[in-house]
Chain A
Amino acid sequence: MSPLPATPSQTVGPFFHDCLLREDRCEVTVSDEGGAQIRVEGRVIDGDGAAVPDAVIEMWHAAAFARIGTDAEGAFAFSTTRPKGVEVDRGTMQAPHLSIAVFARGLMNHLLTRMYFEDEPSTETDPILRLVPQARRPTLIARRAPDESLTPLYRFAIVLQGAGETVFFDFRSPAR
């Protein structure tokens, strides 16, 4: 059977807040599956280095999902459990990471990226990161911020365009 024609994407536009960021928006943290709590603070920046104040970030890993809007400074923040490694295929492990989707006015399709951890030893050998040109890998690795509190804090910038442009992925079905 020939495949059905897929539905194209369109931008999320500027007016999504009341719908996508409503208070009871189905977020979850399956706390017994993940590790300890972590906090992530980030910013979304455009090609002029200006804040993107109307983006929405979706973050997920095996044990949590969150949807966060950026503020007037382009900043977003969330707390979650520390993710565990995930299999690529049976026997091959990936380093712990957060999967991230970015939606905004002006983005005709959402962008997909990942946040890895600089203080996680397996980050260095992650099979997906190794497919990224070495010079661009740092854009995917969150920095541990010095912090007095007990919850580890990571900082992660999402640069849509220009100097330090974040690596965005196109995930393709693996060859069988």
Chain B
Amino acid sequence: MITTIGEIVRGDAAVFPPYLYEAYRSTLRRAPRLPLVEVPLTASELTRPRLDLSHVTAEDADLTRNAGTGGEALGQRIIVTGRVMDEGGTPVPGALLEVWQANAAGRYIHKRDDWPGPLDPNFLGIGRCLTTDAGEYRFLTVRPGAYPWGNHENAWRPAHIHFSVLAPSWSQRLVTQMYFPDDPLLELDPILNAVPDAARSRLVAAYAHDVTQPHWALGWRWDIVLAGPGATAFEAREQSAA
């Protein structure tokens, strides 16, 4: 794919996509043009206020049932699980994961998604959970479909699940998308291709037969590694300064 690629990147340029990536048209008028100002992390970025997470229930992680209709979503039932870690491999417990996705036919419930793919009355396509003490998360859902978008002629997004990760340190905030391997649309997708070559495969889940449950659901494993220092870095700094 030949495209203009901007030089402004927040974080490690070997990992994170540039703000300007011409092939993804929406970046043209939204990417900053002036260099980011490099400043040191402070307590404001290394901590966060304690969130009220009491609303998060086990049912929230079951997207096949959480529409609350009593019916089950249509599509290939899948389990998506993995571990949230920092760059040192230490699990990140208590992170809030929020996910959203199209249904099996590639349609979002969102009011602005108006292509003629069928809606599923038993599927909202939204879920959330908290990571365990071992940093693990697990969602039960259906495999999302690909869907068309207006970026270029005959443009289709590959099947994906949006992930938002709120860790105890704001410096580790991450919003990203998880893809499925062997999808012919991956190499045509400017949003995925904006990620540097070497880092792109980290957004693709792996089929995991040990996660697959007989006569029930196929298993996919996808680990998330959060860049940047965790909340413990701030505590350690405070202690060394004391």
With contacts A4-B87, A171-B45 taken as known, whether A161 is within 8 angstroms of B55 at the C-beta atoms is no
Which one of B56, B109, B162, B225 contacts A7 once the chains associate, using CB atoms below 8 Å?
Answer: B225
- Tell me how far the C-beta of A92 lies from the nearest C-beta in chain B, rounded to whole angstroms: 9
CB interface residues, B 2-60, toward A, < 8 Å? 9-12, 15-19, 21, 24-34, 36-45, 47-53, 55-56
Contact present for A165 and B32 (CB under 8 Å): yes
Question: What are 7 A-B pairs with beta-carbon distances under 8 A?
Answer: A4-B88, A7-B227, A10-B192, A48-B29, A114-B44, A132-B37, A170-B36
- The residue in A18, A20, A106 that gathers the most chain B C-beta atoms within 10 A of its C-beta is A106
With A65-B51, A174-B40 in contact, is A99–B16 under 8 Å at CB?
no
CB distance from B155 to the nearest CB of A (A): 13
How many B residues face the partner with a CB closer than 8 A?
90
A-binding residues in B (CB < 8 A): 9-12, 15-19, 21, 24-34, 36-45, 47-53, 55-56, 85-89, 96, 98-100, 102, 108-110, 112-113, 124-128, 162, 164, 170-171, 173-177, 191-192, 194-196, 199-200, 202-203, 223-229, 233, 237-238, 241-242
- Cβ A168 vs Cβ B32 within 8 A: yes
B44: chain A residues within 8 A (beta carbon): 61-62, 86, 94, 97, 99, 114
Query: Nearest residue in B to A162 (C-beta to C-beta)?
Result: B33
Within the complex, the shortest CB–CB distance from B172 to chain A, in Å, comes to: 10
**Cβ-defined contact, B16 with A26, below 8 A:** no
A16→B37 contact, CB < 8 A: no
Query: Are A63 and B49 in contact, CB atoms less than 8 angstroms apart?
Result: yes
Q: Is chain B's interface secondary structure helix, strand, loop, or mixed overall?
A: loop
User: How far apart sit A15 and B98, CA to CA, in the bound complex (Å)?
Assistant: 13
Q: Which residues of chain A have C-beta atoms less than 8 A from B36's C-beta? A: 168-170
Interface pair A7/B37, CB less than 8 Å apart: no
Is B110 a contact partner of A15 (Cβ separation < 8 A)? yes
Q: Please, which residues of chain B bring their CB within 8 A of the CB of A145?
A: none
Complex interface: chain A residues within 8 A of B21 (CB): 108
Enumerate chain B residues within 8 angstroms of A108, measured Cβ to Cβ: 16-19, 21, 24, 27, 31, 191, 194
* In contact, A106 and B242 (Cβ under 8 angstroms): no
Residue of A with least CB distance to B84: A7
Interface size class of A (residues with CB under 8 A): 35 or more
Q: What distance in Å separates the Cβ of A33 from its nearest Cβ neighbour in chain B?
A: 8
Query: Chain B contacts of A132 at CB under 8 A?
Result: 37
Pairwise interchain contact B126-A8, C-beta atoms closer than 8 A? no
Interchain CA distance A176-B109 in the complex, whole Å? 49
Which A residues lie within 8 Å of B27 (CB)? Answer: 106-108
8 closest residue pairs by CB, A with B? A106-B26, A19-B100, A6-B227, A106-B30, A174-B40, A3-B87, A108-B17, A19-B126
Say whether A14 faces chain B, with CB atoms less than 8 Å apart.
yes
Instruction: Tell me the chain A residues, 142-162 only, with Cβ under 8 Å from chain B.
Output: 160-162
B174: chain A residues within 8 A (beta carbon)? 7, 9
Q: Does A75 contact B (CB under 8 A)?
A: no
- Do B162 and A16 have beta carbons less than 8 Å apart? yes
Q: Complex: how many Å from CA A56 to CA B47?
A: 21
